[in-house]
């Protein structure tokens, strides 16, 4: 595959540009306009099979191609996010290095890690809940003292 000077293949550039373009309001407006024009021309073509086949064929082809282009863009973005997260894990002394490349663990290993972090989150939640209770109790005592004075 031929790479440009910046190391990005023509397909990747095309996929990114198409994905960005497809997500713009103007693109939606153009697609909506095409559907309106198609619908308005129905009586002109007596709502023939050819008239119906035109929109069906066009939308099928566009959808088919867009799935692959958007998926290619999504894959690259997902990989970039994983690399950034891996870098953050490496940069933090308290981070668990075993999480680097965790997207490549088996489903069972990911589930085991997920359960471990759910337990950690639950303990943190309980600590926060305990602190909130302490704060509420202090506020209640202060309020009670203030009403006695």
The boundaries of the domain holding residue 56 are 1-97
* SS3 call for 135: helix
Domain count for the chain, please give it. Answer: 2
**Co-location of 86 and 128 in the same domain:** no
**Co-location of 79 and 111 in the same domain:** no
The size of the chain, in residues, is: 149
Instruction: Report H helices in the chain.
Output: 10-22, 25-40, 49-91, 107-148
**Co-location of 145 and 129 in the same domain:** yes
**CA 58 from centre of chain:** 28
**Co-location of 71 and 18 in the same domain:** yes
pLDDT of residue 104: 83
**73 and 16 in contact (C-beta within 8 Å)?**
yes
**Co-location of 121 and 60 in the same domain:** no
**Main-chain dihedrals φ then ψ at residue 93, nearest 5 degrees:** -65, -35
pLDDT of residue 4: 61
**Co-location of 111 and 67 in the same domain:** no
Q: What residues contact 100, with CB distance under 8 A and at least 6 apart?
A: 86, 89, 90
Tracing tokens 């095309």 back to the chain, one arrives at 14
**Co-location of 45 and 74 in the same domain:** yes
Spatial distance between the Cα atoms of 120 and 92, rounded to a whole number of angstroms: 18
**57 and 67 in contact (C-beta within 8 Å)?**
no
* SS3 call for 116: helix
Which 8-state DSSP code applies to residue 103? G
pLDDT of residue 5: 61
Answer whether 0.95 is exceeded by the pTM: no
**Co-location of 61 and 134 in the same domain:** no
Tens-digit pLDDT string for the chain (149 aa): 566 667 788 988 888 888 889 889 999 999 999 999 999 999 999 999 999 999 999 999 999 999 998 898 899 899 889 889 888 888 888 887 878 888 888 889 889 988 998 998 899 999 999 888 989 889 988 888 888 76
**35 and 55 in contact (C-beta within 8 Å)?**
yes
């Amino acid at each position: 595959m031929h790479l440009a000077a910046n190391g990005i293949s023509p397909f990747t550039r095309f996929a990114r540009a198409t994905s960005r373009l497809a997500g713009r309001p103007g693109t939606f407006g153009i697609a909506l306009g095409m559907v309106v024009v198609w619908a308005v021309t129905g009586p002109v073509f007596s709502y023939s099979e050819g008239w119906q086949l035109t929109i069906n064929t066009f939308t099928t082809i566009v959808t088919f191609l867009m799935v692959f282009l958007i998926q290619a863009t999504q894959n690259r973005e997902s990989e970039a996010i994983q690399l950034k997260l891996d870098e953050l894990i490496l940069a933090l002394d308290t981070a668990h290095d075993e999480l680097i490349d965790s997207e490549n663990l088996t489903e069972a290993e990911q589930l085991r890690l997920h359960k471990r972090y759910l337990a950690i989150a639950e303990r943190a939640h309980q600590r926060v809940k305990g602190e909130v209770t302490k704060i509420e109790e202090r506020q209640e005592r202060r309020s009670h003292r203030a009403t006695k004075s």
